[in-house]
């Protein structure tokens, strides 16, 4: 064939497969990915700082100083809890990660193990959960939620729906690293029936995060949801599909349209049977996706005002939201309960546990 | 050129030498494949996969095997990258689009498949693998029995295939062979999509061999050739060398021109 002669000079094999070409392409790709990742993360961080309650001193001591002080807090008789609170309670995730790394390098021991040895009870749980990197924390909470004695569909849904797409992704990556299996596997294995039908797609989601909304689609899907709910087909594939795959902005538009068109908030229509646990989970899912601060306010309200505080829930909410939006949640709490969150915490808890909670909630001593 | 390749040129009664129509067509077809390989190879792999997914979705059910191929033969991070690229390119998530455009019984399965973020380590649970092989066997036999619900709609089947790690699934495949007379893929002759999923996840080499074979036949269709193009351009880490070696003669015999150079070149390079 003539054509062979024409193209021999092109040396396609080399072009398509040369090591240099591939390497430089990969390097560029890596750089571009890293830049994009960090840009996205920067934007997320800036937005969250405004709503966080965590306070970090303007001049932060060096990491080695922090490590030294923490070491001192453990040494000798007893533990200097106040020092631990003062340091860890005023460091953000990046700083805490650095402290853990440096502590391990300097003293050959994992900071968390040291804390575990020295502390106990609610205070220990709070410190350990707080010290973890957010992704690791979510992985740990999710793992606990799949275990028999601590199982909680609510926590799984909470993590899947209140984190950003990237935060949920990092949690899943941390889960791989820590437990040598995927979160999806565990959720599939340890939940059943309708709960699994809902939770598995929720934890597997990687939602689009843009603000663009398709109003025609919102109308169609509002109608669809209304039909299914009227037929009491709560765990219908379409209902789950909308909640588990659409972007949060799109779901918001759909639910607004639902209210405009059919008169009620979708959650009001989902209250058909107050004892149905699946419906309760579905309502919480909607809340988490569209107005998470109301969801968290309720969790806190139930945790604090019960006879005997639910420390697990209190710890979890404060730890996971202090760097995110605890300020908004606290405002919501005050609005709904006529009492500032910090005062409620003071009333219901005591000791070092109370102290650290207050520090994380941004409480300033008068 | 005109003098050398006389069979492509016709001289008609007006004594004008023109290009034979069918020759033009075959020339365009050859270069189309070549062009496809080049374009695919140059694009960022994530963007490439995102565009392939979108195209397959648009074209409809006969092309869903492309979705299966991408979701099952990419690594967890590559699939995730494709999902990110999809967000960027189309302002929606692939899950959304799949869930709203796929109408049939394969919807749940495909959405779950594309949402997978599998653990990639070697750790495998033998006991779980045994019970899962049994569950798959039951689901498949039931389907052959009462035809009420297809195996691919069974929740058990879906979550086993879409959440378990690939090493784990390979063990499930082995366990299945022990309890059934045939392999899973043999038992799944009726449900093509499910069969391809299992093949891509558990025995990818078999899948690649089949793609080569179908594309290099005498009567190979456009789609089959496109499948080979896609494979050659996108499977960078996979060892296609061994498979290609078996087909080397067929390549030399059936493929022409620049496209043949690409195929042979890619395979030759793998040999180094």
* pLDDT tens, position by position, A265-300: 999 999 988 889 999 999 999 999 999 999 999 999
Q: Which of A154, A116, A147, A137 is nearest to A321 (CA)?
A: A137
Q: Does A212 touch chain B (CB under 8 A)?
A: yes
Q: Which of A288, A283, A285 is nearest to A265 (CA)?
A: A283
Give the integer Cα–Cα distance in Å for B249 and B120.
Answer: 36
The reply to whether A63-119 and A293-360 are identical in fold is yes
- CATH architecture type of domain A135-290: Orthogonal Bundle (1.10)
Q: How confident is the model at residue A5 (pLDDT cuts 50, 70, 90)?
A: very low
Q: Do A185 and B163 touch (CB under 8 A)?
A: yes
Residue A217's pLDDT is: 94
Instruction: Residue B242: give the domain boundaries.
Output: 28-268
Domain-embedded: residue B9: no
Q: How confident is the model at residue B181 (pLDDT cuts 50, 70, 90)?
A: confident
Q: How confident is the model at residue A37 (pLDDT cuts 50, 70, 90)?
A: low
Nearest chain B residue (CA) to A5 = B257
Domain count, chain B: 1
Give the integer Cα–Cα distance in Å for A350 and A354.
Answer: 5
ipTM greater than cut 0.85? no
Q: Do A13 and B95 touch (CB under 8 A)?
A: no
Domain-embedded: residue B6: no
Element (H, E) at B21: helix B21-42
Residue A202's pLDDT is: 96
The structural domains of chain A, with segments of one domain joined by +, span 63-119, 135-290, 293-360
Q: What are the residue ranges of helices labelled H in B151-191?
A: 155-163, 166-179, 184-187
Q: What are the residue ranges of helices labelled H in A108-247?
A: 111-118, 121-131, 134-146, 153-162, 165-179, 183-190, 193-204, 215-230, 237-245
Lowest mean pLDDT among A6-15, A356-365, B196-205, B226-235: A6-15
Domain-embedded: residue B4: no
Q: Do A247 and B80 touch (CB under 8 A)?
A: no
Q: Does B226 touch chain A (CB under 8 A)?
A: no
Mean of the pLDDT values across residues B166-173? 93
Q: Which CATH superfamily is domain A63-119 in?
A: Annexin (1.10.220.10)
Give the integer Cα–Cα distance in Å for B241 and B209.
Answer: 11
- CATH top-level class for A293-360? mainly alpha
B11: its two tokens: 């001289």
**Beta-carbon count within 10 A of A152 CB:** 17
- In sequence order, the 6+-apart residues with CB closer than 8 A to the CB of B140 are B151, B184, B187, B188
Q: What is the pLDDT of residues A237-264, one digit of tens each?
A: 999 999 999 999 999 999 999 999 999 9
Instruction: State how far residue B132 is from chain A, nearest Cα, in angstroms.
Output: 11
Is a pLDDT exceeding 80 seen at residue A39? no
């Amino acid at each position: 064939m003539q054509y062979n002669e024409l193209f021999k000079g092109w040396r396609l094999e080399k072009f398509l497969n040369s090591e240099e070409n591939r390497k430089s392409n990969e390097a560029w790709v890596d750089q571009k990915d890293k830049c994009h990742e960090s840009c996205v993360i920067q934007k997320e961080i800036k937005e969250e700082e405004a709503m966080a309650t965590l306070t970090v001193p303007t001049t932060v001591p060096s990491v080695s100083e922090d490590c030294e002080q923490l070491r001192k807090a453990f040494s000798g008789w007893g533990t200097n809890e106040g020092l631990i609170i003062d340091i860890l309670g005023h460091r953000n995730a990046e700083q805490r990660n650095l402290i853990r790394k440096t502590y391990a390098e300097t003293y050959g021991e994992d900071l968390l193990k040291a804390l575990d040895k020295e502390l106990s009870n609610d205070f220990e749980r709070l410190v350990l959960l707080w010290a973890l990197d957010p992704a690791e924390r979510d992985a740990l909470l999710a793992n606990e939620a799949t275990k028999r004695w601590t199982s909680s569909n609510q926590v799984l849904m909470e993590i899947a729906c209140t984190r950003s797409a990237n935060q949920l992704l990092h949690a899943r990556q941390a889960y791989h690293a820590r437990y040598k299996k995927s979160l999806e596997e565990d959720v599939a294995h340890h939940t059943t029936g309708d709960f699994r039908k809902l939770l598995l797609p929720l934890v597997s989601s990687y939602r689009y995060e843009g603000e663009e909304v398709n109003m025609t689609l919102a109308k169609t899907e509002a109608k669809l949801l209304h039909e299914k709910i009227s037929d009491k087909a709560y765990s219908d594939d379409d209902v789950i599909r909308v909640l588990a795959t659409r972007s949060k902005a799109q779901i918001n538009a759909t639910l607004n349209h639902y209210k405009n068109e059919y008169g009620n908030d979708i959650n009001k229509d989902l209250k058909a049977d107050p004892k149905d646990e699946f419906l309760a989970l579905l309502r919480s899912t909607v809340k988490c996706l569209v107005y998470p601060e109301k969801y968290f306010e309720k969790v806190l309200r139930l945790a604090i005002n019960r006879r005997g505080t639910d420390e697990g829930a209190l710890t979890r909410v404060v730890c996971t939201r202090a760097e995110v939006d605890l300020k908004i949640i606290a405002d919501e709490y005050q609005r709904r309960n006529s009492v500032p969150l910090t005062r409620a915490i003071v009333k219901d808890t005591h000791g070092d546990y109370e102290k650290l909670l207050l520090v994380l909630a941004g409480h300033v001593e008068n | 050129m005109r003098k050398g390749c006389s069979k492509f040129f016709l001289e008609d009664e007006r004594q004008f030498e023109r290009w034979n129509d069918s020759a033009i067509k075959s020339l365009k077809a050859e270069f189309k494949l070549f062009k496809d390989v080049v374009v695919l190879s140059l694009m960022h792999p994530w963007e490439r996969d995102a565009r392939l997914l979108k195209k397959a979705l648009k074209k409809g059910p006969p092309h869903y095997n492309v979705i299966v191929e991408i979701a099952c033969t990419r690594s967890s991070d590559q699939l995730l990258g494709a999902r990110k690229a999809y967000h960027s390119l189309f302002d929606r998530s692939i899950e959304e689009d799949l869930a709203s455009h796929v109408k049939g019984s394969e919807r749940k399965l495909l959405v779950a498949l594309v949402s997978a973020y599998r653990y990639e380590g070697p750790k495998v649970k033998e006991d779980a693998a045994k019970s899962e092989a049994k569950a798959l066997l039951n689901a498949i036999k039931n389907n052959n029995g009462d035809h009420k619900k297809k195996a691919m709609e069974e929740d058990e089947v879906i979550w086993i295939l879409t959440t378990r790690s690939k090493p784990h699934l390979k063990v499930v495949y082995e366990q299945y062979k022990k309890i059934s007379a045939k392999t899973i893929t043999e038992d799944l002759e009726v449900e093509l999509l499910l069969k391809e999923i299992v093949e891509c996840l558990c025995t990818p080499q078999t899948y690649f061999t089949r793609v080569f074979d179908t594309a290099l036949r005498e009567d190979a269709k456009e789609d089959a050739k496109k499948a080979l193009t896609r494979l050659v351009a996108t499977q960078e880490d996979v060892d296609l060398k061994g498979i290609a070696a078996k087909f080397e003669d067929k390549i030399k015999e059936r493929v022409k021109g620049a496209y043949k150079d690409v195929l042979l070149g890619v395979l030759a390079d793998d040999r180094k």
